[in-house]
Amino acid sequence: MTKSIIRLLTCGSVDDGKSTLIGRLLVQTDSVPHDSIDATRKIRRSGSTIPTGEIDFSLLTDGLEAEREQGITIDVAYRSMNLLNGKRLIISDAPGHEQYTRNMAVAASRADIALVLVDATRGVRTQTLRHLTICALMGVSHVIIAVNKLDAKDYSQSIFQSISLEISDALHRLNIKNSTVIPMSALAGDNVVDASTFMDWYKGPTLIQAIQDWAPKATIDRGARLQIQSISRAENFRGVSGTVHDGEFTVGETIKTFPGGVTAKISRIVTFNGDMEKAVNESAITLVLEPEIDATRGDLIVKSTEELISSDRYVANIVWLDENPLIHSRSYILIAGTTTTPAIVTKIRHKIEVNSGEHNSATTLLMNEIGSIEIATDTALALLPYKESRDFGNFVLVDRASNRTVGAGMIDHVLRRGSNITHHNYEVGKTERAHMKHQKPGVLWLTGLSGSGKSTIANELEKKLFNLGIHSYVLDGDNLRLGINKDLGFTPEERAENVRRTSEIAKLMIDAGLYVIVALVSPFKSDRDQARSIFDESEFFEAWVDTPIEICKARDPKGLYKKAAAGEIPNLTGLGQEYEVPTNPNIVLDGKLAVSENVNALLKLIL
């Protein structure tokens, strides 16, 4: 297999010398304009000890002014250079600071080689091991370990061997089989391009030699794939457009779409330059299929001889990137290529301890932590194990409320139970059941602090509906915790599961034709949004019972505030745990008003 472009990721802990190393590599291979080099002789970042007149190599890769002021790399800096073997090297200089791990993870997902620096004066650090772990998960095929700044340790062979031994243990634990460890000094230039005269005890390659000697591992031919990016329509045809991966498509052959599993024959391959008989790897094409099939954006097209498993249940490794922790049972948006669908993390299998490699039990993941999760999507997908396909085995999770990317995931394997479950459609459905009761089913979701009056309002509202002949039911938070939710506590992740179960029960009751009143604190907006998302827009009403906490404390119908004051309840909503005020409820109820006034307002809303 030939490859004209090699993608190199540089990473490691902050101040290990990544920018300096890449800057020197660019200068010594004549890959930087001379006026840029001249500028680095004059400009100095804050705290620099490099004399004026000498090259500050790190300035050649740090593009943001903030980076120069702080002396660290914030964003991923991309540079390119020509190798002696005629190939092009694209260099990604990733930030070393822990808070910018997300930037490094994105760069690693496309890298062929990872260059991980270790500061010989500080040794292997936690961030070094975290970056190694991410490189292993991201499927980087070769890792080069640069033990840098050995000039500050008199080019000590024993220090290099000690660090090499520690790194070798980590490489073995992470199952990184292709690696090279090089002693060097980026500042002095030892073993970067030219062999060091101070380390004659080292007989291995220089950095540039190790990069140029790299060859991609042989790939297993699994057949061509194309993920539909758009549906193309013209006067004389309708086609599906995308880019070919891992093979080629030919006019006349039979293909199959996933997750639908529908087969069709390729009648035309259309490109910007006209029709072609065969489309090879990385070609951007439009396939005209015969017969036309119901395929949509995000579907995967493969040859008919290949069998994929479409599923809505997966096991995945994930790097958590957000300041807010991962909450299982909370709904996120999963984006994989052109596919977007709601998804729930149903289980956190374990958290990976980057220093030891141990798999520790966990109920949540914090920022920059790495773990194994089980995830359920709202719709079946055709995702592949990441070890088989970096193109179709990755995804990101996006927070539904903020639209921030919160996690980067790699599919480990499909949970077959997801493909073994089929929804059964019965002839008697929601519409028929509601018609029999002469009513329109729906959900009124009452949210507010404990003591705000939710249950009292729900009770009076149900009595009014009962007298009007409307079949209804109240799902009360405390009553549910006495039964189906008795195993749940009050942590954010358990509250998320509490809301999920309650909303699923409410959905079943709506399917039975009932009107459902939910009285639940449900303090987190993302959980309430998840509940809303599983219903039709016209079926769900959110009502915020807005009662000042001083009045809630005075009422204290369950004695919870008294217990909280005594230190018996550390995470009572409104005191020890935040209540996220609804930003766009269907109605706001004043908890200071008479119950009858609030009930009448609700009746006007829902009837």
Q: How confident is the model at residue 54 (pLDDT cuts 50, 70, 90)?
A: confident
CB environment 443-459: b (16+ within 10 A), e (fewer): bbbbbbbbbbbbbbbbe
- Rounded Cα distance, 128 and 145, in Å: 10
Is the pLDDT at 67 greater than 50, yes or no? no
Could you tell me the residue ranges of all domains in the chain? Answer: 5-212, 225-303, 311-418, 433-606
Mean pLDDT of the chain: 87
pLDDT tens for each residue of 356-374? 888 999 989 998 889 999 9
How do 515-519 and 442-447 pair as beta strands? parallel
Q: How confident is the model at residue 581 (pLDDT cuts 50, 70, 90)?
A: very high
**What is the dotted CATH code of the domain comprising 5-212?**
3.40.50.300
Fold of 311-418: Elongation Factor Tu (Ef-tu); domain 3 (2.40.30)
pLDDT tens for each residue of 231-257? 888 767 788 999 988 888 999 999 998
Q: Do the domains 433-606 and 225-303 match in fold?
A: no
pLDDT tens for each residue of 255-294? 998 888 889 999 999 888 888 999 888 889 999 998 888 8
Q: At what angle do helices 492-511 and 525-533 cross, to 10 degrees?
A: 20
Average pLDDT over residues 420-424: 71
- Rounded Cα distance, 50 and 27, in Å: 17
Q: Tell me the two tokens of residue 82.
A: 């020509």
- Rounded Cα distance, 535 and 217, in Å: 48
Is the pLDDT at 1 greater than 50, yes or no? no
312: three-class secondary structure by DSSP: strand
Predicted local distance difference test score (pLDDT) of residue 354: 83
Quickly count: other Cβ atoms within 10 Å of residue 372's Cβ: 18
CATH of 433-606, picked from 3.30.70.260, 3.30.360.10, 3.40.50.300, 1.10.1060.10, is 3.40.50.300
Task: Indicate which residue of 196, 311, 503, 522 is catalytic.
Answer: 522
- Rounded Cα distance, 230 and 239, in Å: 9
Identify the sign of the CA torsion 152, 157, 158, 163.
positive
Predicted local distance difference test score (pLDDT) of residue 52: 67
522 belongs to the catalytic site: yes
pLDDT tens for each residue of 525-559? 989 998 998 999 999 999 999 999 999 999 999 99
What CATH homologous superfamily does 225-303 map to? Translation factors (2.40.30.10)
